[in-house]
């Protein structure tokens, strides 16, 4: 038995129990093995660590100094083992997710509720941003996974496809004459268009679609959140480009209606993005399994 840790562990239990026999029992060793380990330590330091007597062993003054250090290390090791067990069982730890506010609210919220209910010891950290920002967060190690709109073309990233979304143009009662009317893209551009102001995947996709048809999409109003896109359309400030699934309630109640176009807007897919060839924490793996 030459491993330092094993020698110190024998010393710790001998000092703690005051008995070589009890130390051997706790460590599932023979008493001669325990005696030999103590002898090795004493020879290594060149000092006696224990007084032997008929009742067992007691620490010498020098042994007591060593014990004060070894005891702290054993406590830390025990705490580390408990922590590892807790992480394995998802009793503690953290889960860091990046995504847009709208995806958190309209898509991830039910999964986050279930996950928190099943694993209340896991701390949730939500980092909001656009798709390029989420990619940066992931590469910098600030999040464990990102929930983003696809496609994502990056060899460093692995993306698991999740759900399909459909974007559309919506407006409110002020433009009631457009209800049920099929508009061309150039006709749509005669009305005030409201877009998300930041460099989001949805904004880039609709801008590219208009370019493919030979039009330049210049919004009259830009806003910083999906909630404002919805509210501005409701108030009659223009026609907002939003995700249909995110305005299902407003479409159903009639406070918004969808603008019909003579071209098909392609659907988009939401993906769960992680770093390729990087091990996932159990917290992140279990969340991905829940969502998929």
Who's near 264: CB < 8 A, 6+ residues apart? none
Q: Within a 10 A sphere around the Cβ of 68, how many other Cβ atoms? A: 10
| pLDDT for position 114 | 93
Exposed / middle / buried, residue 19 (Cβ in 10 Å: 0-12, 13-18, 19+): middle
∠ CA 11-14-20, rounded to 5° = 120
E strands, the chain, where? 50-53, 56-59, 94-99, 123-128, 145-149, 157-165, 167-171, 182-183, 193-196, 221-223, 239-243, 257-258, 260-261, 268-275
Who's near 182: CB < 8 A, 6+ residues apart? 260, 261, 262
Q: Within a 10 A sphere around the Cβ of 49, how many other Cβ atoms? A: 21
Helix, strand, coil shares of the chain as percentages rounded to 5? 50, 20, 30
Query: Using CA atoms, how far apart are residues 175 and 234, in angstroms rounded to an integer?
Result: 10
Cα pseudo-dihedral 214, 170, 247, 273, rounded to 10: 10
Query: Using CA atoms, how far apart are residues 232 and 226, in angstroms rounded to an integer?
Result: 10
Tens of pLDDT along the chain (292 residues)? 456 888 999 999 999 999 999 999 999 999 999 999 999 999 999 999 999 988 899 999 999 999 999 988 888 887 777 767 766 767 777 889 999 888 898 889 999 999 999 989 889 999 998 888 999 999 888 899 999 988 888 899 999 888 889 999 999 999 999 999 999 999 999 999 999 877 777 888 899 999 999 999 999 999 988 899 999 999 999 999 999 999 999 999 999 999 999 999 988 889 999 999 888 888 888 899 888 7
| pLDDT for position 86 | 65
Who's near 248: CB < 8 A, 6+ residues apart? none
Query: Using CA atoms, how far apart are residues 71 and 246, in angstroms rounded to an integer?
Result: 57
User: 240 pairs with which residues across the strands?
Assistant: 170, 194
Nearest CA-CA partner of 276 in 112, 90, 164, 152: 152
In this structure, the strands spanning 167-171 and 182-183 are unpaired
Residue 269 three-state SS:
strand
What is the Cα Rg of the chain in Å? Answer: 32
């Amino acid at each position: 038995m030459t491993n330092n840790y094993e020698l110190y562990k024998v010393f710790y239990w001998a000092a703690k129990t005051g008995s070589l026999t009890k130390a051997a029992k706790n460590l599932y060793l023979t008493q001669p093995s325990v005696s030999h380990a103590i002898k090795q330590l004493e020879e290594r330091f060149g000092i006696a660590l224990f007084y032997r007597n008929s009742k067992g062993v007691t620490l010498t003054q020098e042994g007591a100094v060593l014990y004060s250090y070894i005891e702290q290390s054993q406590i830390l090791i025990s705490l580390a083992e408990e922590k590892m067990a807790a992480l394995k069982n998802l009793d503690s730890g953290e889960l860091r997710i990046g995504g847009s506010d709208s995806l958190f609210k309209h898509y991830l919220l039910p999964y986050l509720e279930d996950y928190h209910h099943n694993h209340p010891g896991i701390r949730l950290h939500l980092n909001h941003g656009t798709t390029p920002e989420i990619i940066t967060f992931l590469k910098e190690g600030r999040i464990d996974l990102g929930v983003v709109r696809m496609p994502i073309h990056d060899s460093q990233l692995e993306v698991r496809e999740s759900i399909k979304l459909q974007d559309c143009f919506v407006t409110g009662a002020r433009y009631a004459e457009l209800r049920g009317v099929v508009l061309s893209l150039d006709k749509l551009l005669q009305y005030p268009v409201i877009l998300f102001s930041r460099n989001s995947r949805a904004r880039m996709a609709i801008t590219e679609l208009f370019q493919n048809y030979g039009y330049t999409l210049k919004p009259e109003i830009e806003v910083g959140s999906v909630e404002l896109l919805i509210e501005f359309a409701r108030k009659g400030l223009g026609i907002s480009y939003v995700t249909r699934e995110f305005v299902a309630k407003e479409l159903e109640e009639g406070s918004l209606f969808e603008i019909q176009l003579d071209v098909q807007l392609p659907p988009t897919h939401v993906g769960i993005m992680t770093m390729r060839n990087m091990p996932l924490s159990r917290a992140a793996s279990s969340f991905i399994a829940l969502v998929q």
